[in-house]
A = this chain, B = another copy of it.
Amino acid sequence: MKAAYINQTGPAENIVVGELPAPTPTGSQVLVHVGAASVNPIDTYIRSGLAPMPNMPFPFVIGSDLAGVVTAVGPDAKRFRVGDRVWGANEGKLGRQGTFSELAAVDEQRLYATPEHVSDEQAAALALVGITSHLGLVEHAQLQPGETVLVNGGSGGVGSTVIQMARAIGATVIATTSGAEKMEYCRTLGANHVLDYRHDDVPKRVAELTGGVDVWWETSRMPNFDAIFAAMKLRGRVILIAGRASRVEFPVGAFYTKCLSLHGFAMFLASAEVQRQAAEQISEWLEAGKLHAKIDRVALLDDAAELHRLQEASDSGAIRGKLVVKM
């Protein structure tokens, strides 16, 4: 089968596109004929070695997300049958092969039914960012209907998903981004208020608009805790998911005297059961049209290295949505 893989961690040039033996599903695995996969920042960290994964198999197929059709089932698989459409978000981790291949053997506990009217491209583009957003808002921040969420960086892959999901939960959403075009995009996603972080005094505007926020979702790798804590209501929760190499100042008094909490997580460390709860609600929202991924481009497996380079240049505005591969 055709696959994009690496023989050792390193730069995007290490990615080889070529033939690998097709896997055979064992135990509770099913074999998925991959229709689409997408690129996430974590894929580039795993490929480069910045995020070391234990027991990484080589050649290592890159990629976390997939959507496709079940073509064979292992002897202990019970959830799915041949022909079922499925999606998943959590391959290529902790000794498992990734998803940038024509066929992927995936444990059925990490696969979810794709709703009938949702394309593989949409399901693959929303997989990892969707489960990440859901875990952050529901599992960690315990967001309640009627609360206010601020998404700092609302036009990116995770940020745009968090806006839609927070609205689906019934929260008021303030998004920040930069420039008129991205601000308008955040509005189309459902943000109630949109601020330009280059020009607006965010804590001041937040105070005027809503009197403070209950949940702050940080997408920047350099969180400004002074501004964040100033914008929070009493008992607010801050979600942190990026900034592997960042060191920033932390104002202790502003944090504890407001009874705040700060929650960090890496979605792939959540249990299969917790991820499934998130995934099932995501499937419902997809079916109901409440979640939609903005896709920058749909490319071919041959373009895998170029897609990684684009993802790595995302801070400079190189991409405007998810990078998707169609098999």
> Chain A residues in contact with chain B, CB under 8 A?
51, 140, 221, 223, 225, 234, 240-253, 255-266, 269-270
Contact = CB atoms under 8 A, between A and B. Distances in A.
Contact of A221 (B223, B252, B259, B262): B252
Given A223-B252, A240-B252, A252-B240, A257 B247 contact: no
Select the residue from A243, A245, A270 with max chain B CB neighbours within 10 A.
A243
The 10 closest A-B CB pairs, nearest first, are A256-B264, A243-B252, A244-B253, A250-B250, A246-B252, A262-B262, A259-B265, A255-B264, A261-B263, A240-B256
Copies in the complex: 2
Contacts of A266: 256-257, 259
B256 A265 contact: yes
A249 B250 contact: yes
B256 A140 contact: no
Contacts of A247: 249-252
A234 B264 contact: no
Contacts of A243: 252-253, 256
Given A221-B252, A244-B257, A248-B252, 7 more contacts: A240-B255, A241-B256, A245-B253, A248-B250, A255-B264, A257-B264, A259-B270
Contacts of A270: 259
A245 B270 CA distance: 35
Contacts of A259: 264-266, 269-270
Query: Which of A234, A245, A246, A253 has the largest number of chain B CB atoms within 10 A?
Result: A253
